[in-house]
Amino acid sequence: MMPRLSDAVLAALPESVARPRYDRAGIRPGILHLGLGAFHRAHQAVMTEAVLNAGARDWGIVAASLRSAETRDALAPQDGLYTVATREDEREALQVVGALRGLIVAPEDPGALLQAMVDPGIRIVSLTVTEKGYCHDPSTGSLDEAQADIRHDLLHPTAPRSAPGILVEALRRRRAEGIPPFTVLCCDNLPANGETVRRVVTRLCALRDPGLGTWIGDAVAFPSTMVDRIVPATTAEDRARIAAALGAEDAWPVVGEGFSQWVIEDHFPLGRPDWAIAGAQFARDVAPFELMKLRMLNGAHSALAYLGYLAGHETVAEAASDPVFARYLAMLWDEIAPSVPAPPGVVLADHAGRLLARFRNRALRHRTWQIAMDGSQKLPQRLLGPLRHALAEGRPAPCLIIAVAGWMRYVMGIDERGAPIDLRDPMLPALRAASAAGLDQPQDVARRLLDLTGIFGSDVAGHPALAVDIGNALALLVRDGARQALSGLTAT
């Protein structure tokens, strides 16, 4: 029988597999991470591993899952070790990462998580809890005070469930114990992510205790970051292939592309790992990088996810290799680019070419369905921002409009062959109610979805010509299907 990956088998792994070059037992935790998903393990943890490999001793990671025990259950029997498989078409490189030095499942023991966050050795609390984890209103970026976990945390502030509630309580305890506050490092795809987290955290705190809210706003650093690496969900095939290559079973490896970028605002009052060793860039202003990432990459991803799913493309690589979709993508990027101030040294047309090559990486099975998830949280920064920009400049934006209509067609919940779509979205009840009129009434569905101000604000629905264009695009998608609609659009 194959052994399980663990410290004990590290030395016996094939030589081609990279592994920790330091004594794991000598590493002290300096980072507490909230949200132990594949993205963290393939991105920040890999960069931190490089710092540990270079000799740092006090930047180990304690990672907490805020919901399920699955990842902990997979990694705890492996001493926290896991494999990162970097895949580019035919090539695959394996690295076993040792940076995780503690695993916590918050719902099992909320006290243990808070206690770990109060440890003076922890100087950074980083987060990948996805867009919805910040409990904000996606159209304004303000705390959604009616959200269920936030209501819970206001009633039970010392036993919080939400990421903002956990940050507030941990910071409060540090202050009460005279321990300087950790730096809060958001690594999710939100616009102005540091500022957004500061806003929700200080608001939640002020609702609880105005004095504490002011202190958090003044004393805590919330640097912004731009994170980028395509990391699809791990498949059973990935697990089997990686186990065969390791000669050891890894219950939850992660798989990603070769490209990895991290741009970080350099504001860490208690210090930070030297992530530049791993290629991270430190910048005074992350905003241009972030805007480019959210609009050019994530915007195109979401457009491909909805329209590609409807056209029957299971993965991004399949969709981006379909000539109709490739033409559409090129036109979409031309519509988005004017809304993006290129960061220093970047030519947007070249950037789009590199994105297309990344999307076409056939070794990654990045499902359109996976990216389609949580659209209500993603649309504003990915597609509506560039759409507003085009409107303000009087530029036509048919590709952005059909992408928004593609999301609407998708949330109608029935695919082009009449099969149900497995919709995942925190606003699902509202989306279902708004699209109840169904496929026969696309104009009505479009109007009612545009009225969801949490997603669209009030300006989109209030713009009569735009609302009509979106309704017409939705009617076209219903009538002709996504591929034919794009074929017509890109032929003109």
Instruction: Indicate the residue among 257 and 335 with the shorter CB distance to ligand CS2.
Output: 257
Binding flag, residue 257, ligand CS2 (CB under 6 A): no
Nearer to ligand CS2, 228 or 249 (CB): 228
Toward ligand CS2, which CB reaches closer, 172 or 367?
367
Q: How far apart are CA 353 and CA 339, in angstroms?
A: 18
Closer to ligand CS2 by CB, 87 or 447: give it.
87
Closest residue to ligand CS2: CB criterion: 301
Which is closer to ligand CS2, CB of 372 or CB of 461? Answer: 372
Q: What's the closest the beta carbon of residue 46 comes to ligand CS2, in angstroms?
A: 13
* Burial of 395 (C-beta count, 10 Å sphere; 0-12/13-18/19+): middle
Token look-up 């060793």 returns 277
Determine the Cα–Cα distance for residues 242 and 425; give it in Å rounded to an integer: 32
Q: Are strands 261-265 and 82-88 parallel, antiparallel or unpaired?
A: unpaired
281 vs 370, beta carbon nearer ligand CS2: 370
Q: How far is the CB of 219 from ligand CS2 (least distance, A)?
A: 31
Binding mask 259-298 for ligand CS2 (x = CB under 6 A): --------------------------------------xx
- Least distance (Å) between residue 261 CB and ligand CS2: 8
Neighbours of 411 (CB within 10 A): 23
Q: Which residue has the tokens 């990344």?
A: 358
Structure tokens at 62: 């304690």
Which of positions 160-189 make contact with ligand CS2 (CB under 6 A)? Answer: 189
**CB 100, CB 75: distance < 8 Å:** yes
Q: Is 74 left (phi over 0), alpha (psi -120 to 50) or beta?
A: alpha
Residue of 45, 47, 332, 371 that binds ligand CS2 (CB under 6 A): 371
The answer to whether residues 100 and 7 touch, using CB atoms and an 8 Å cutoff, is no
- Contacts with ligand CS2 in 189-248 (CB under 6 A)? 189, 228-230
Q: Which is nearer to ligand CS2, 39 or 182 (CB)?
A: 39
401 binds ligand CS2 (CB under 6 A): no
- Our CB check for ligand CS2 shows the closer of 174 and 301 to be 301
DSSP assignment of 137-158, as one string? -TTT--B-TTSHHHHHHHHSTT
Closest distance of CB 59 from ligand CS2, Å: 23
> Of 294, 387, 298, 393, whose CA–CA distance to 343 is shortest?
294
The least CB distance from residue 378 to ligand CS2, in Å, is 6
- Nearest residue (CB) to ligand CS2, 52 versus 297: 297
Strand 82-88's sheet: what is its strand order? Answer: 91-97, 82-88, 254-256
Q: Cβ 382 to ligand CS2, closest distance in Å?
A: 8
Q: How far is the CB of 371 from ligand CS2 (least distance, A)?
A: 4
List, in sequence order, the alpha helices (H) in 119-228.
Answer: 148-155, 163-176, 193-208, 210-219
116: nearest Cα among 220, 177, 32: 32
Confirm or reject binding of residue 301 to ligand CS2 (CB under 6 A). yes
Residue 376: closest CA among 450, 459, 485: 450
Q: List the interface residues with ligand CS2, window 59-78 (CB under 6 A).
A: none
# chain residues binding ligand CS2, by CB under 6 A: 10
**CB 443, min distance to ligand CS2, A:** 28
Sites of contact with ligand CS2 (CB under 6 A) = 189, 228-230, 297-298, 301, 370-371, 378
